[in-house]
Chains A and B, each alone.
Chain A
Amino acid sequence: MRDKQILFLALPAILYLFSFTTYPIISNIVLSFYERTYEGSLKWVGLGNYLWFFFRDPYGGLILWNTLFYSLATPVIAVTLALPIAVALRRLGGRWLVLLMLPAFVPPVTAAMAWYLMLNPLYGLGYYLMQSGVVKSNPLSTIWTVVLIDVWRALPTAVLIIYSGLRALPRSVEEAAMADGLVGVRKFFAIDLPLVSPHILTAFVLTALTGFFTFDPIYIGTAQVGPRLLDNLAYYSFEKFASGEFGYAATLIVVMTAVGTLLSLAYMKALSAKTMLRLPGVYRLPNREAPRALHAAVLAAALAFVFTPLIWLAIVSVKPPREVINVPPSLLPSRLSFENYEAAFTSGLPFFLMSLYVSLINTAVTVFLAAAAAYQMRVHNLGGWPLVTYILYLMTTPTLLYIVPLYLVVRSLGVYNTLWALVLTYPVMTLPYAIWILYNYYSGFNKQIEEAALADGMTRVKAFFKVVLPLSRSGMGVAGLYAFLFSWGALVFPLAFTSTPYNLADPLSFSGAQTFSIYISMLMSPVTMSYGEVSAAGVVSIIPPLIYLIAVRNHLEKVWGAR
């Protein structure tokens, strides 16, 4: 029997998701057959946009090449680095994991900004790289820098997935290997690596998705080195959108949606993959443990990689403003100065407030809607596997895909450039992830708790609020962490749906809605040269997610432990 109240609880989230994702996907396809004329009306061009992109667009080849490069280089490098790091973690203890996870909690704009700041050939460590001859050409203008930033952002995910795969190896199989005389390096290649190969595949596909949809590093990098050099499909489509070429932007987005869907399907296949890799020649490998010092060295290198840009960011932020643009750059500030922070707080305040509002509102809305839907999906099997698959699909594809149609919606509702535009659209970005986290969380939930409440005479709705929700605190805490993180670090949506800073002269109008991410990217422009201020803003941008992280840290294990 399908209970109406089950549907009632899940409906808000599901209706929202369907209307805010399915409609844009279809709308993109329709738009891709049109061209916007100079007068602003739409003109049918059939396959014209597609033909133009693949055969005529002078940038088409470059864009495709860059996109392919990011989508392959990122996973290859991230997984290659993650594997030894995960092994070192298993040997040296998982308590280091939380430090390695740090990049996942730094807003993407801040991450990109910190790397570009550090690699700057005049004012950053890039100066010394060039002086010493390690790097021959300007490190800012190469697509490798984009990959570097992507890898930095993707590494935590890859390490986490592979590490939890290693930890989930059945203890008895490890002991059986021991009984068969397999030790150390040989055991790793003969047993562990084949058994975690599904996890490695999962990590690979997921980081490939990161690489394919790279946006923030290109947005920041383009401001440093000029247009088109670093562009991929994602960024190019945004540029086309920003210049009003909606039809062409939609075309590029349809192409991305197709590739993204394939990658997402590959991800789902990887999640349930059973086939395991087998390596030949493992019996020639040494049958002993790798020295502990080697593991320690791997871990130390990983930590250095994770922390160097952040440390540089912190150092620059406390330099006196004039010292920031000294050439050669000083490694340490001559004196501790908080002028950069003062500047960032003064000019950044409207942006900071707007980000805080929308993040808090969206986190609350997301967690609540997600819990109500995820519980029914898991415990009452609402929607079955098609709904779960759809959620997983939305989770792995980015919100960039929806900007053109949602922009038109926001415009027609008259909420463009207000807090409400963001509140209305942000759940597209956060709901799928939150539902997925809670869906997994509820797999271990005792259904009889709800049944007991029903037997006591409560309605399902009441039972959900009085009994289920209070028992879901840790799942909601973690789902909320990610919702907050995504809301706080969002760049594409605010770029698309806002145009001016929050108007503090009339705070209750909540209009003017540019966010802190936009503030940071504006400061990175080489015209303003506010490197001191931007580094202070970067440090500030890391703090709210960290506060949230510390608040829910005890619940994280439950989600991180899962595959």
Chain B
Amino acid sequence: MLLLKGLRKSFRGFTLYVEELEIPDNSYVVLLGPSGSGKTTLLRLIAGLETPDAGAVYIDGRDVTKSPVWQRDVGIVFQNYALYPHLTVFDNIAMPLKNRKLPKEEIAKRVRHIAEILGIQNQLEKYPHQLSGGQQQRVALARALVKEPRVLLLDEPLSNIDARLRLEVRGFLKSLQRRLGTTVIHVTHDQEEAMALGDLLVVINNGRIEEAGPPSQLYSRPRSLFVFNFLGLSNVLPASRLGLGGDELIGFRPEDVVVGEGRYTGKVARVEYLGPYKLLEIVFNDVVIKARVPPHLAVDEGAVVRFDVEKDKILRFPS
């Protein structure tokens, strides 16, 4: 189990503060937040590549705050992979083991084993520049995993992958984690990627953790307006606009809007055809409401439609 307590790190004009964050074993954790929110900084604090100004990091109850990276039992995959260009794939993967002076046969066995898991057993004699980006990433993963770390840290691992391959690599990462049973902490700014992968989602904004929880909970029952907005398309408006009581803000997803019948009448300002569904923008009471409708529903821009919002899906946020 990984535990962060009172962790603080300040740069000029930026402070990261984590009051408490507990990361259970054997889970796929995604750190999600907009760019510049402090995700990389948090990851580097866990890795030991940055020293915190205050607070502590515990791995399995052991305080590792003062320990250097290599004593922390973490594996790191850097955003640009950071392979050693002068070494073969085999020697790249073997580096952490050789450094511990394990016996030669033991090293070869473990390198082969992890290379097989990652599907790069045929590339072991090549140099990094002879590999594709995806293969380089697997080498970087192998190097991080060969020492069997408690925690594997991935900083935006899909950002340098070809868009076509991204889904495939995403699936691979998740199944790899399931197979090896390590804890993975995966940083991304892509909410779709985050929801697809995470057992636990940690949403971070401007140096603070907004909310942590399973993706489904954060998507449909977030406590924070930021999380609600960040995790998908959303409608946010004062409750009074829909004639609902209270002076709070209300929020609901476009798919929670029913079009064709209901209490409200509005004018369709825009129709976007998106394949599996259509997105409408309905002007009602001086606000724009996004609604998701089946693709075959015939509505034209300028049409006047009736609609309603599913009551039990409406979230309330203090304004």
Contacts and interface: CB of A to CB of B under 8 A. Distances in A.
Interface of A: 170, 172-173, 175-183, 186, 191, 194-195, 274, 276-278, 283, 287
Contact of A176 (B68, B76, B129): B76
Contacts of A175: 49, 69, 76, 78, 82
Contacts of A195: 85-86
20 contacts: A172-B82, A173-B82, A173-B84, A175-B76, A175-B82, A176-B76, A176-B82, A176-B83, A176-B84, A179-B69, A179-B70, A179-B74, A179-B75, A179-B144, A181-B100, A274-B129, A277-B86, A278-B86, A278-B87, A283-B98
Given A178-B68, A179-B75, A179-B76, A287 B84 contact: no
A170 B96 contact: no
Contacts of B85: 173, 195, 276
B101 to A, nearest CB: 6
B143 to A, nearest CB: 7
B99 interface: yes
A176 B78 contact: yes
Given A178-B69, A179-B69, A181-B100, A276 B76 contact: no
Given A172-B79, A175-B49, A175-B78, A181 B86 contact: no
Given A178-B68, A276-B85, A276-B86, A287 B99 contact: yes
A170 B76 contact: no
B156 to A, nearest CB: 12
B95 interface: yes
B30 interface: no
Nearest to A173: B82
B47 interface: yes
A521 B150 CA distance: 71
B220 to A, nearest CB: 38
A181 B76 CA distance: 12
- The DSSP consensus for interface residues of chain A is helix
B240 interface: no
Interface in B118-149: 129, 143-144
B216 interface: no
Given A195-B86, A283-B99, A181 B78 contact: no
Contact of B47 (A179, A180, A194): A179
Nearest to B49: A175
Nearest to A275: B86
A128 B78 CA distance: 58
Contacts of B87: 278
B80 interface: yes
A438 to B, nearest CB: 30
A278 to B, nearest CB: 6
Nearest to B98: A283
Contacts of B101: 283
A181 B94 CA distance: 12
Interface string B157-201: 000000000000000000000000000000000000000000000
Contacts of A173: 82-85
